[in-house]
Amino acid sequence: MKYADWAETCETLHMWTQVVGKIRMKRTPFLNHWWHVPLYLTSRGLGTSPIPDGSRTFDIDFDFVDHALRIATTSGDTRAFALRPMPTSEFYAQVMSALRELGIDVAINTRPSEVADPIRFEDDHTHASYDAAAVSQFWQELSHYCQVFTRFRSRFIGKVSPVHFFWGGFDMAVTRFSGREAPLHADTPGLPLAVVQEAYSHEVSSAGYWPGGNGFDAAFYSYAYPEPPGYSTYPVQPAAAFYSQDLHEFLLPADAVKSDDDLLAFLQSTYEAAAVCGNWPALERK
């Protein structure tokens, strides 16, 4: 799917996932590398997984089959409302109202993360598009890619992240770790230094899928931190993959992927670029 075909809906959904993601971040105990922050693919959309609330837990799920936002608690109470074209301010108000009705007290920082010219959720009347068909297609693509990422993840016997969806960058990622500490990461525009340094406290090879934005269509990416000598010139597959000197990562346009084997080849060869050039220990199943 071309980004231009659903740009306004994508930007709106980005804001809505930030509302829900910030609730999870606020109420979930801190995990290394900010692993308490992301959302996860479900069989109907994207969800938080259980969030602590005293003696109970609650989930918040985007249902992209029936196009609804659902909140469920372990005490059996639920709330839901339809996902439809509406300003982010209205979406935010409905989420917070539903939480209050369920007796869940939570306050979040309403300033969006990792976006240019952020508008606080309660003031955002700009992002208001919801094309249900486009959202369904995006979720179906994301679900399929998640399964390929999971196959790639299963080969690794070292420390490896879940396949998770980061609502800040609006991308799905999986990260492998060499087990070695990394040098302190430099400042990254748009992100607090403490956030970046926690995310990259240890040596990584990370790969993901981004649905596009800022004039770019969807693409897969892969990068290493710290980037070892020879990484950028390492031969990777498939042929459409290339190293971006501007982004310091390998990219593969999504429309160039013709099969799961193409995507697996990209994930594997870019990991090998990090592992071989960085002299990683052997951490894959034989």
Report pLDDT digits (tens) over 115-152: 999 999 999 999 999 999 999 999 999 999 999 999 99
Query: Angle formed by the axes of helices 88-101 and 7-27, to 10°?
Result: 30
Residue extents of the structural domains in the chain: 3-131, 133-277
Q: How far apart are CA 9 and CA 16, in angstroms?
A: 10
Confidence of residue 271 (pLDDT cuts 50, 70, 90): very high
The yes-or-no verdict on residue 189 having pLDDT over 80 is no
- Mean pLDDT of all residues in 257-276: 98
Taking the C-alpha atoms of residue 145 and residue 249, their distance in angstroms, rounded to an integer, is 19
Confidence of residue 185 (pLDDT cuts 50, 70, 90): confident
CA dist 200 and 57 (Å) reads 30
Return the DSSP state at 271: H
